[in-house]
Structure 1
Amino acid sequence: MRRLLIMFFVIFSIHGQQVDAERMILDKNEAIFVFLSLPDGEAMLIQTGRGKDFLVNTASKASEEKLLEQLANIGVDQLDSIILTNQEPSTCGNTSRIVERYHVDAVIHGMSEKKLCAESSNHAKEVIWKEGELHELNPGLSVRVLPSIDGSDMSLFFMYGKTSLMYLASGDMELEQKIANSYPLKAEVIKIADYARTQSPTLHFLEEVDPHVAMVYPLKGARPNEGLLERLHESWIEVYQLKKTGTTTIFCNLEDYEVLS
């Protein structure tokens, strides 16, 4: 894969610990999806070569310091939007702090009546995405809102050039069937829902989506389902448990992608 980028490595000390900071300068036809390794909960940064930055979820309050540290290391000084896939404490616990710190324009979420995280962010406008909608975040970068069971979770299907990323918000087998029936989608990368604690995704769903890479976030006090991890490995999917691998980046141009960890 041919890519034009400049990487800066900075080593400095925070509270006596050494931290490696990496920043990429992207071409206008490049983008990165950064799966942030945090102590508890999930957050994914999307950066494009056209100067747009988006954050999907903000992890739990227990991850606040580490989240701010990693965003600073990457060189984020402003976020265009925060996208919340649900209103659980482990996914949106730092929304208000991030809105204020990074001058966020909009907090985007689904149709759930429970909007505690979104409502706590009164410095940004509230935007509601509905099931089936297709949104262009930036030239070359779009996202489709996948079906949900009751509106409490918002699974997403990101597309950048020829690379697709399925971000599952609920580990529900009924949801799998609903997605498969509505949108028979293929994705190179899949974010496993519910911190891989359930039986989803099933073998049938994995065969339908045919991912090459799976991302698993950590949740304090919980362990991934060993049967699910075994299923992923047996399906020849490269599994990144972020607690073990650390922050992992999917680098994309319009033709291909590469995993950097």
Structure 2
Amino acid sequence: MRILLIMFLIVISFPSHHVDAERMLLDKNEAIFVFFSLPDGEAMLIQTGRGKDFLVNTASKESEDDLLAQLSNIGVDQLDSIILTNQEKSTCGNTSRIVKRYHVESVIHGADLEEICSKSNNHAKEVIWKEGELHELNPGLSVRVLPSMGESDMSLFFMYGKTSLMYLASGELELEQKIADSYPLKAEVIKIADYARTQSPTLHFLEEVDPHVAMVFPLQGSRPNEGLLERLHESWIEVYQLKNTGTTTILCNLEDYEVLS
């Protein structure tokens, strides 16, 4: 009995190994949102059953090998677009490399690209999205550009069928009010901004958006705000700290979604 108890304590004392996403065969009315667990920064893949692949952010240079390995594991050999929600080194550090490797058709952003995010004069065209615009990426998949705090920031609201994902680019409290005033939106999934280091989202904003799932990307040398994490849990939101849970996939059809981790 003592040996079994010791083995049990050993098992629960160590975090589980990260599980990379694997290639999935999607029906034409399905899509996946893949939140990559990486050493540093954020990147999310959107893959549809109609053969379209989009990468939201490209993480930092420290995550290059991990990101390329996971994209290969999923079976990605071409990306239609890269979407950059801001121009920090932890969100766009591998843009140039990925544009070359995956024959990216377009790089989408909210302002002129700075050197840190440069696509190095490759053939991918640059596309600037403006606040309030609604874009259809693929049948059933659309995205609205939400208010932002700066020219290069671009918070987004993705919709696939009846499932919505709010992808926040800034953790400033003022942004919450701008979004609430302009677009009183509900979302099943919310990507927490600034690696959950700030006070946002507030309880009021969470009550307005009413998310069921929250995603938190890791940032090297930084820890999430414990008060914010506690607030998310107290709001009955399922929190995925990707550093601990590993790469996490949300599978959607036109009616519902399922979290796979």
- The 3-state SS of whatever aligns with 2:23 is strand
* TM-score (structure 2 length as normaliser): 0.91
Query: Are 2:121 and 1:122 aligned?
Result: yes
What letter matches 1:22 in structure 2?
E
Q: Name 1:33's counterpart in structure 2.
A: 33
* TM-score (structure 1 length as normaliser): 0.91
Rg larger for: 2
- The 3-state SS of whatever aligns with 2:24 is strand
Normalized per residue, which structure has more helix?
2
Between the aligned partners of 1:150 and 1:61, the Cα distance in structure 2 is 24
Q: Name 2:13's counterpart in structure 1.
A: none
Query: Are 2:214 and 1:226 aligned?
Result: no
Q: Name 2:169's counterpart in structure 1.
A: 169
For CA contacts below 8 A with separation 6 or more, give which structure has more relative contact order. 2
- The 3-state SS of whatever aligns with 2:222 is coil
Normalized per residue, which structure has more strand?
1
Cα pair 1:87 1:116 within 8 Å, conserved: no
Between the aligned partners of 2:20 and 2:84, the Cα distance in structure 1 is 28
Query: Are 2:85 and 1:85 aligned?
Result: yes
Describe the shift of the 1:203–1:22 C-alpha distance in structure 2 as closer, same or farther (beyond 3 A).
same
Q: Name 1:106's counterpart in structure 2.
A: 106
Which structure 2 residues correspond to residues 160-199 of structure 1 after superposition, within 5 A?
160-199=160-199
Offset from partner CA, 1:16-36 (integer Å, 9 cap, x none): x99866210100000000000
- The 3-state SS of whatever aligns with 1:98 is helix
Structure 1: tracts of 5 or more residues without a match: 1-16
Q: Name 2:54's counterpart in structure 1.
A: 54
Between the aligned partners of 1:50 and 1:89, the Cα distance in structure 2 is 31
Cα pair 2:57 2:82 within 8 Å, conserved: yes
What letter matches 2:143 in structure 1?
V
Query: Are 2:44 and 1:44 aligned?
Result: yes
Q: In percent, how many aligned pairs have the same letter?
A: 86
What letter matches 1:203 in structure 2?
L
Between the aligned partners of 1:199 and 1:18, the Cα distance in structure 2 is 28
Between the aligned partners of 2:138 and 2:45, the Cα distance in structure 1 is 14
Cα pair 2:18 2:247 within 8 Å, conserved: no
Cα pair 1:95 1:121 within 8 Å, conserved: no
Between the aligned partners of 1:171 and 1:164, the Cα distance in structure 2 is 19
